[in-house]
Amino acid sequence: MNDILKMNIVLVLNRNWQAINTTTPAQAFCSMATDVATGLDIHVDEYMQPTRWEDWTSLPVRDGDGSVRTAGGLVRVPTVIVLAKYSKVPMRRPSFSLRAIRARDGNRCQYTGKVLAPNEGNIDHVIPRSRGGATSWRNCVLASVKVNSKKAAKTPREAGLKLIRQPAEPPTLPATMLLRNPHDITDWHVFLGSEKS
């Protein structure tokens, strides 16, 4: 199986053309072939044409397009598909990660209030893991490397530190707000903006 078929490089829009997810070309082809979705034939700055599977398979493959070789010839890999019936925007909570902790805490050390550069901060367990503290939204904060080293396996009180605010789970957000364009796919920019992440 071609590796391109397994990559999450297809943006999924609901029937109102709102970005809700990403998928693989293999899954996109299945959705298109069963009329669950149409491929979006995009000509940047010209037009976007929803195209059903039977017409999609005969579209020309342009320079720069991903494609898959089939018995019938090359088939262009869609960059965006539009679901035929689904209109909701799912709500999601960001996955727990340093990046998500940074976003929740506004890139600020939660003990000093200092804005931190990427290499200046890491995750601190308010109640240290060695003392039963969980790796969770409610027990982890962004802290400067220096402060975190000083705190070590102590509680904030024992280390003479005070939290600016208590850590909490971030709110659930529309899925569109959590989608990223890690491959900087040009066709996604109109739906997600042009920020590469």
Structure tokens that stand for 121 in this block? 């901060």
Q: What's the CA gap between 61 and 72, in Å, rounded?
A: 13
Q: Is 149 left (phi over 0), alpha (psi -120 to 50) or beta?
A: alpha
Q: What's the CA gap between 119 and 66, in Å, rounded?
A: 36
User: Which tens digit of pLDDT belongs to each residue from 126-161?
Assistant: 999 999 999 999 999 999 999 999 999 999 999 999
Tell me what pLDDT residue 156 has: 97
Tell me what pLDDT residue 194 has: 62
Domains of the chain: 3-91+174-192 (no CATH), 98-151 (1.10.30.50)
Q: What are phi and psi of 105, to 5 degrees?
A: -90, 10
Q: What's the CA gap between 66 and 77, in Å, rounded?
A: 5
Name the β-bridge partners of 75: 68
Q: How many helices (H) and strands (E) does the chain have?
A: 6, 11
Question: What's the average model confidence in pLDDT over 77-95?
Answer: 92
User: Which tens digit of pLDDT belongs to each residue from 14-58?
Assistant: 999 999 999 999 999 999 999 999 999 998 778 899 999 999 999
Structure tokens that stand for 174 in this block? 């529309």
Tell me what pLDDT residue 1 has: 45
Local confidence band at 196 (pLDDT 50, 70, 90 cut-offs): very low
